Amino acid sequence: MMAMSSSPVSIVIAGVGGQGTVLMANVIAKAAINAGYDVKGMNTYGAAQRGGPVSSQIRIGNNVLSPRIGLREADVIVALEPAEALRASNTLRIGGRVLVNTEKVYPVEVLSGRAEYPSLAVVLNPLKKISGTFVKFNATKIAESAGSPITLNMVMLGSLAAFDVLQFSNDYLTSILEEELPKSVIDVNLKAFRLGYNFVSKKKVKCH
Amino acid sequence: MCSEVLTSSADGTKVLLLGNEAIARGAIEAGVKVATAYPGTPSTEIVESLSRVGKQLDMHVEWSVNEHVALEVAMGAAQCGVRALFATKHNGLSAAYDMFTHLGIRDVTGGFVIVTADDPNMYSSQTEHDTRWMARCAGIPVIEPSDPQEAKDFTKYAVEISEKVKLPIMIRSVTRLSHMFSGVTLSRIRSGNLPAHFDFASLSLSRLMESGELPSPFWNSVVYRKLHAKEKQVESCFERFQGNSILSTGKEKFGIVASGFAYNYVAEALRKLALREKIAVFKVATPYPLPRRKLASFLRSLEELLVVEELEPFIELEVKALAKDVNPNLKIYTKEAGCIPREGELSVEIVANALARIRGLKLPYENLPQPSIFRRMLVMCAGCPHRAVGYALNQAIAKAAGNREGAIVEGDIGCYILLAMPPFLLNDMSFCMGAGLSVAQGRYHSGINKIHVALVGDSTFLHAGIPGLINAVYNSAPIKLIILDNLATAMTGFQPHAGTGKTATGDPARVVNIEEIVRACGVNFVRVVDPYEYRKTLSTLVEMLKQEQVAVVISRRKCAILATRNARSEKKRAERYHLDEKDCVGCQICTKKFGCPAIGWNEEDKKPQINQSACTECGVCSQICPLGAIKK
């Protein structure tokens, strides 16, 4: 676990509407409270509509001043979509960590030919340059192999759990999932969590 | 969030709550028994949370038909010794404002808290006006929490003070607070209902006249003298309120006054600039009335002052007036001088930049430009009935008016505001709820010889459209109104309304029939169409646009998200649509003009591609395809 005492861990979760970023943030925040930490965070979503960017910011520590993560303050960016990783990139501190799903979600502007989706390299290079640890992978494929593409958020949550950032053990996360998810979907979500966890731990991401 | 947390009796437990949920919990702890609202981002979750636990707590929770009604219902209860809550976004307070200005000059006997959620930066609003002015104008005290814990505790406190002073109290939230989450330590839920009681002797207009306390039914300014005395009483309570506190004394003669959510930005900015030990901060929780005695002693200790608050210089102006009396030499860095912006949302960087500028410090970070990437505009969902009727309306205008500018289309603020975006570019204007159909009448009377079209949603029509429609009939303005009825208040999260047959707490209700209302308003041309039947919708719209009288088309089809949810729960899935490539010539009408997110474009084949998991089988694309290439 990251050596830290007083300064909080700042996490940015970026995605698009419908990907489950808010639920993911909620699970992390509840787990942190159960583990005895102070948590402040916020979700950014305009009107309750689909297709727009949705991001969550979470700070976990012993004494968290405010929920908003400013420029170059995030310890980690978890992006469920590559372009959203770029959109959130200013928040990452130099040497911070990045976890990014490479599966693109095309906005209507791109689908209808009014805008172009740049190549993955163009989208991800700015973050790669400033990050200390950078992991990109197709988490949507892993979610599909777990049983459903909508468990993408659980794959990302599992991979974050293996990323040596959170101050508490995975049990806190999985027990929130067990408490809060409907019984019928718990297994597939836990499977997705485990697959995400295993994927990143196999990469042996080292702590700085 | 699960309902058990909201009703938990576990005193002292820490749970995760959104700001809005924390306000709801505060109301529960305070013993609120009547809660009303009309849905509106960012305030919706307050009453939505209460609606889930209302029955269990013996609390009446309702989605009222509009904010004006919601406020009146809650005030009616608060005058009967029952604790009440009314929650709204800032725009809704405007809708309720006539009633709002009456609250202060009447007594409440049960504690009454009004919650407004302002929207600096207009994330989901058409204006960003500061409701603190509105409260002040009506003599309603304002409390501003800075985080969910305070949101809960201050809501409870507001109910207590309200009951003590017999005056409603307003809690002002902002988007960031309403949508922020943090750990909140719960307190005891107040038990025991006050018995509902209407006290004729102190409240009845005729009794007050009979007793000589009022000279006429028009009241008189005696009531304002009473209100101003209450203001003094509240101020003295606020002087003792722990929410108003000096948080660090600071070694230097430079101080900050910060209020509400803006306090968070100040705390972080001071940390970033390593100024926490040096600068004194007075955290204001009650912008109106300000704890002037406490504040005066703070101002006397300073030589320089910065006031940090979101939107208007509301506290700043008062502090300037106070400083004139208690420390005339105090240098105040003002919004007028541009130290802190008066528009939009603040941020840690805005506050830190201001402090660095004022104090000649170097910033410990670089101000970065926004990374360049396409915008991800909001889109109507796959299968959205608004897309279908919007597409048909564009075609109908071309047919009936010759070109797009042969009609002016007044929009409104529901999901159909997205028809203003590409590829539809349909809405020419959008003001407040219900404004479109009245604004259209003014355009007509001004002599603009075009077709005057207005769009309004089902919930919005019931909320604010009916008087405007009556006015059109009465004053002979032949507007063309399309009521986009998707059987839900969809934009804010599918809350039920009077036309849906369900109440906030899930009880069945009588369905208020929109076409009966329209006919009763005196409209002769009334048609109901299913927007998924494209050709019939188009011909009906053309017929409507050619009318020389007020004409109304109700386009009725359940919101696609709700319909898909229902279909999923009933395990029903119809056969999906696919592209027959041999019939498709790649004209791109389905992708570029219809713009359904379930239809992508395959650059290699130069053909559209139907995303099967997103398609809701509405079938409209297959009807608009000129070659019939999209098939079942």
Q: What SS3 string covers B405-435?
A: HHEEEECCCCHHHHHHCCCCCCCCECCCCCH
Find residue B307's DSSP bridge partners.
B257
Q: Does B431 touch chain A (CB under 8 A)?
A: no
What are the Cα distances from residue B533, in Å, to B273, B324, B591? 62, 69, 19
For residues B608 and B590, the answer to whether their CB atoms sit within 8 Å is yes
Q: Per the structure block, which two tokens stand in for A150?
A: 């909508």
Task: Tell me whether 0.90 is exceeded by the ipTM.
Answer: yes
Tell whether A208 is covered by a domain.
no
Q: Domain tally for chain A? A: 1
User: For residue A114, is pLDDT > 80?
Assistant: no
**What is the pLDDT, as a whole number, of residue B286?**
98
Question: Range of A59's domain?
Answer: 9-202
Q: Does A183 touch chain B (CB under 8 A)?
A: no
| Range(s) within chain B of domains with CATH label 3.30.70.20 | 573-631
How far apart, in whole angstroms, are the C-alpha atoms of residue A204 and residue A194? Answer: 15
Q: Per the structure block, which two tokens stand in for B313?
A: 């210089």
Q: Of B203, B306, B293, which is closest to residue B250 (Cα–Cα)?
A: B306
For residues A84 and A120, the answer to whether their CB atoms sit within 8 Å is no
Q: Per the structure block, which two tokens stand in for B197?
A: 């009681």
Least confident of A95-104, B193-202, B210-219: B210-219
CATH of the domain at A41: 3.40.920.10
Of B41, B182, B272, the CB nearest to A40: B182
User: For residue B491, is pLDDT > 60?
Assistant: yes
User: For residue B1, is pLDDT > 70?
Assistant: no
How far apart, in whole angstroms, are the C-alpha atoms of residue B242 and residue B232? Answer: 18
Instruction: Indicate the average pLDDT of chain B.
Output: 94
User: For residue A93, is pLDDT > 60?
Assistant: yes
Query: Which chain A residues are within 8 Å of B599, Cβ to Cβ?
Result: 111
Q: Per the structure block, which two tokens stand in for B463?
A: 């909320």
H or E element in which residue A104 lies:
none
Instruction: Give residues with Cβ within 8 angstroms of B125, minimum separation 6.
Output: B41, B89, B90, B91, B119
Least confident of A17-21, A149-153, B124-128, B459-463: A17-21
Of A26, A68, A149, the CB nearest to B347: A68
How far apart, in whole angstroms, are the C-alpha atoms of residue B461 and residue B479? Answer: 15
Half-sphere exposure at residue A88, Cβ-oriented, CA atoms within 13 angstroms: 36
For residues B350 and B493, the answer to whether their CB atoms sit within 8 Å is no
pLDDT in tens, B497-545: 999 999 999 999 999 999 999 999 999 999 999 999 999 999 999 999 9
Q: Which of B176, B181, B266, B561 to mutate to test the interface with A (most CBs of A within 10 A)?
A: B181
Q: Is the peptide bond before A182 cis (omega within 30 degrees of 0)?
A: no
Cβ pairs bridging A and B (under 8 Å): 158
Query: Which chain B residues are within 8 Å of A48, Cβ to Cβ?
Result: 41, 491-493
How far apart, in whole angstroms, are the C-alpha atoms of residue B107 and residue B109? Answer: 6
**What is the pLDDT, as a whole number, of residue B143?**
98
CATH number belonging to the domain at B573-631, selected among 3.30.590.10, 3.20.20.150, 1.10.10.10, 3.30.70.20 = 3.30.70.20
Tell whether A137 is covered by a domain.
yes
**What is the pLDDT, as a whole number, of residue A6?**
61
Query: Which chain A residues are within 8 Å of B271, Cβ to Cβ?
Result: 65
Of B16, B179, B375, the CB nearest to A30: B16
Q: Is B240 exposed, middle or buried (0-12, 13-18, 19+ CB in 10 A)?
A: exposed
How far apart, in whole angstroms, are the C-alpha atoms of residue B242 and residue B314? Answer: 21
Least confident of A167-171, A178-182, B1-5, B184-188: B1-5
Radius of gyration of chain A (CA): 16
**What is the pLDDT, as a whole number, of residue A207?**
47
How far apart, in whole angstroms, are the C-alpha atoms of residue B342 and residue B595? Answer: 38
**Three-class SS state of B93:** helix
- The verdict on a CB contact (< 8 Å) between A71 and B271 is no
Query: Which chain B residues are within 8 Å of A71, Cβ to Cβ?
Result: 349, 365-368
Listed by number, the residues of chain A in 122-161 with a beta carbon closer than 8 Å to a beta carbon of chain B are 123, 126, 149
Q: Assign A2 a pLDDT band (cuts: 50, 70, 90).
A: very low
> Rounded mean pLDDT of A135-156?
95
**What is the pLDDT, as a whole number, of residue A1?**
42
For residues B517 and B490, the answer to whether their CB atoms sit within 8 Å is no
How far apart, in whole angstroms, are the C-alpha atoms of residue B595 and residue B581? Answer: 19
pLDDT in tens, B215-268: 776 667 888 999 999 999 999 999 999 999 998 777 789 999 999 999 999 999
- The verdict on a CB contact (< 8 Å) between B601 and A111 is yes
Rounded percentage of chain B residues whose pLDDT exceeds 70: 98
Q: Which of B16, B44, B45, B351 to mutate to test the interface with A (most CBs of A within 10 A)?
A: B16
- The verdict on a CB contact (< 8 Å) between A107 and B377 is yes
Length of chain B: 632
For domain B245-359, the question of CATH label 3.40.50.920 is answered with: yes
Q: Does B493 touch chain A (CB under 8 A)?
A: yes
Q: Assign B212 a pLDDT band (cuts: 50, 70, 90).
A: confident
Residue of A nearest to B183 (CA): A39
CATH number belonging to the domain at B3-239, selected among 3.90.1200.10, 3.20.20.80, 3.40.50.970, 3.40.630.30 = 3.40.50.970
For residues A60 and A11, the answer to whether their CB atoms sit within 8 Å is yes
> Burial code of B366-378, b = ≥16 C-beta within 10 A, e = fewer?
eeeeeeebbebeb
Helix orientation angle between A139-146 and A152-161, rounded to the nearest 10 degrees: 110
Query: Which chain A residues are within 8 Å of B613, Cβ to Cβ?
Result: 149
How far apart, in whole angstroms, are the C-alpha atoms of residue B383 and residue B381? Answer: 6
**What φ, ψ does residue B17 adopt, rounded to 5°?**
-135, 145
User: For residue A48, is pLDDT > 70?
Assistant: no
Q: What is the DSSP string of B323-390?
A: HHHH-TT-EEE-TTTTSS-SSS---HHHHHHHHHHHHTPPPSS--PPPP--------PPTT-HHHHHH
Q: Does A121 touch chain B (CB under 8 A)?
A: no
For residues B349 and A70, the answer to whether their CB atoms sit within 8 Å is yes
Fold classified for B385-568: Rossmann fold (3.40.50)
Q: Assign B195 a pLDDT band (cuts: 50, 70, 90).
A: confident
Q: Does A39 touch chain B (CB under 8 A)?
A: yes
How far apart, in whole angstroms, are the C-alpha atoms of residue B258 and residue B309? Answer: 6
Least confident of A136-150, B346-360, B610-624: B610-624
Least confident of A104-118, B61-75, B142-156, B609-623: A104-118
DSSP label at B437? H
Query: Which chain B residues are within 8 Å of A115, Cβ to Cβ?
Result: 374-375
Q: Is the peptide bond before B289 cis (omega within 30 degrees of 0)?
A: yes
A57 CA to chain B: closest CA distance, Å? 9
Q: Which of A66, A81, A144 to mutate to test the interface with B (most CBs of B within 10 A)?
A: A66
Tell whether A2 is covered by a domain.
no
Q: Per the structure block, which two tokens stand in for A34?
A: 């159960």
For residues A42 and A68, the answer to whether their CB atoms sit within 8 Å is yes
Q: Write down the pTM of the prediction.
A: 0.95
